[in-house]
Amino acid sequence: MSSDITGRVNRRTLLTVVGGSGIAGLSGCVGFGGDGEGGDGGDGSGSDDGDGSGSDDGNGGSDDGGPDTIVFGQPGAQTGSFDFLQPGVSQAADAAVRHINEAGGPLGAELELVRRDTAVDPQEARTVTTQLVENDDAAAIVGLFSSEINPLWDFLQDLQTPVVTPWPGSTFLDTRGGDKGTPDDVSDDEWVWRTVVGDTVHTGGSAVYALEEGFETLGIINGNTEGERSYVDGFLSVYEENGGTVAERVEVELGSSSYQSALSRLFDAEFDAFLVSMPQESAITALSDWSDGGYGRQPILSDTLAQQAVIDQVGSDLHGAWAASPGRSGPSYDTFESIYLEEGDAEINGWTPPSWDAVQVTALAIERAGEATPEAIQRNLGPVSRGEGTTVSTFAEGKEALANGEEITYEGAATPVDFTEHGNVFGSVTISTAEEGGFVETTEVPAEDVREYVAEGEY
């Protein structure tokens, strides 16, 4: 007969094994900063060390009384639904840091970038942002997604550290953020700026293009997260205002094993084209189901879906689908591209040039301010980006002009980076169409055309 006790194990041994395993597991959750998620081609001069060590001497003094090191914190999507976009964003930030340091650094200090993974999880983003500010002494934050900023809005305002981010498209930020046109008065400021055009702008461009192409009735399938809803809302605000109608809208949970039921419901309606706004992995499942079901009609994709992997997995049925993305060709794009390509081989995506711009404009704000405090950066982001000063396309040019006593206006790689009173930027919209070899840029909707559809003061 078998014994009741199936195997005697020393209690201390068991606890040691379980505890050790728990610690090993949790270490994966907590992460080891950027190095732990390395291999993204983004560990160049930006010192992707994420271990907080870089800030030790942040308050030290250089020969001229300024800091030896200035730290920017970069919450990143090194894991999670948008991790495929992070390599380009990391490489752009690292290239910008290297360029700035080669030009002498802001206030003569060494600029250091500390990157930590949030997995685009709001709670993790709150922890990471706190660590960056409190432990790493980051003077500014050059990251955070819509899905993180919106629920953490009050927290970020209380933090009073400027967030200059290349990620968020959310319409939530259309009238939130920036210096409200009064750079010297921070009492009315909101501490978020974005160097990427908002959903209102590029979804507006997408909507304008859809109407121009004769797609007057639309079906919509979107994920049930803030980012996906915001994209669709931005699209519809322009689309419906200009005569378009929505026949059916289906909202789905992300990560499902099948979207056939949602698709069958959607395609029961009559429409000319359908808009897909979902993260890449869920979108591939949904579009594969769409292809298998032979539903047909014209797909319009959200900006994050203009990726080779989407075509590879869905197949030739997707050819002809198009996506509108923030334009990549700001006034200083060529300058950015040449420096970027020296840094590594990560693919450039719609958020790559804005990442470069975020680091550049923040460093210029420090240079103009003459100090690297969060409030000084906040006061100077507006003045270095808008106005009638000398046009500069890099930190090096800006540092030289400021040293000559000139005012400057930074012209970016993604957009002209003329921050509106709400900390937003306008830029062109690129239409990319899926073809055999990938997404090919087919049309560009100029920033001026899109601007017509955005009310003054509402962005």
Partner 1 sequence: MGLLQELIFGLVTGSYIAIAAIGFTLIYGIVNMINFAYGEYLTLGAFIGFLAANALPGPLPVAVVAAMIGGGIVSIVLARGFFTPINNTGPVPMLLTSIGLGIALRNAIRLVGGRSARYFETETSTFRFDAIPDLAVGPVDLLGGVFVTSEHLIVIGSAVAVFVAIHALLTRTDVGIAMRAMGDDESLARVRGIDTQLIRDSVWVLAGVLAGLAGVLMAVQTNVSADTGFSHILQILSAAILGGAGSPYGAILGAYVIGIVLAVSTAFLPSSMTGLSSAAAFVILIAVLLVKPSGIAGTEVREA
Question: Which residues would be at the binding site for partner 1 (CB under 8 A)?
Answer: 1-2, 4-7, 9, 14, 17-18, 21-22, 24-29, 36-37, 39, 78-80, 83-84, 223-224, 248-253, 255, 257-258, 260-262, 264-265, 267-268, 280-281, 284-285, 288, 292-294, 312-313
Least Å from the CB of residue 170 to partner 1: 18
What's the farthest any 2 CA atoms get from each other in the chain?
A: 93
The Cα-based distances of 136 to 19, 52, 109, 165 in angstroms read 29, 5, 16, 18
| Cβ 292 to partner 1 shortest distance, Å | 5
Residues 380 and 397: their CA atoms lie apart, in Å, by 17
CB 299, CB 439: distance < 8 Å:
no
Q: How many CB atoms lie within 10 A of CB 457?
A: 10
Contacts of 143 (CB under 8 A, 6+ apart): 73, 74, 75, 76, 89, 115, 118, 163, 165, 166, 167
- Bridge partners, residue 34, by sequence: 32
Our CB check for partner 1 shows the closer of 5 and 455 to be 5
CB of 210 to partner 1, least distance (A): 21
Please say which residue, 252 or 384, places its beta carbon nearer to partner 1. Answer: 252
Which one-letter DSSP state was computed for residue 178? Answer: B
Residue number, 86 or 393, with CB nearest to partner 1: 86
42 or 412: whose CB is closer to partner 1?
42
Q: Residue 210 and residue 226: Cα distance in Å, rounded?
A: 23
Q: How many helices (H) and strands (E) does the chain have?
A: 16, 14
Look at strands 273-277 and 298-301 and give their pairing: parallel
**Alpha-carbon gap, residue 340 to 417, rounded angstroms:** 19
Q: Are strands 390-392 and 408-410 parallel, antiparallel or unpaired?
A: parallel
- Is the CB of 294 or the CB of 405 nearer to partner 1? 294
Q: 83 or 400: whose CB is closer to partner 1?
A: 83
Q: How far is the CB of 312 from partner 1 (least distance, A)?
A: 8
Shortest distance, CB of residue 31 to partner 1, whole angstroms? 9
Minimum distance of partner 1 from residue 121's CB (angstroms): 12
CB of 89 vs partner 1, minimal distance in Å: 14
Taking the least distance from each CB to partner 1, the nearer of 292 and 375 is 292
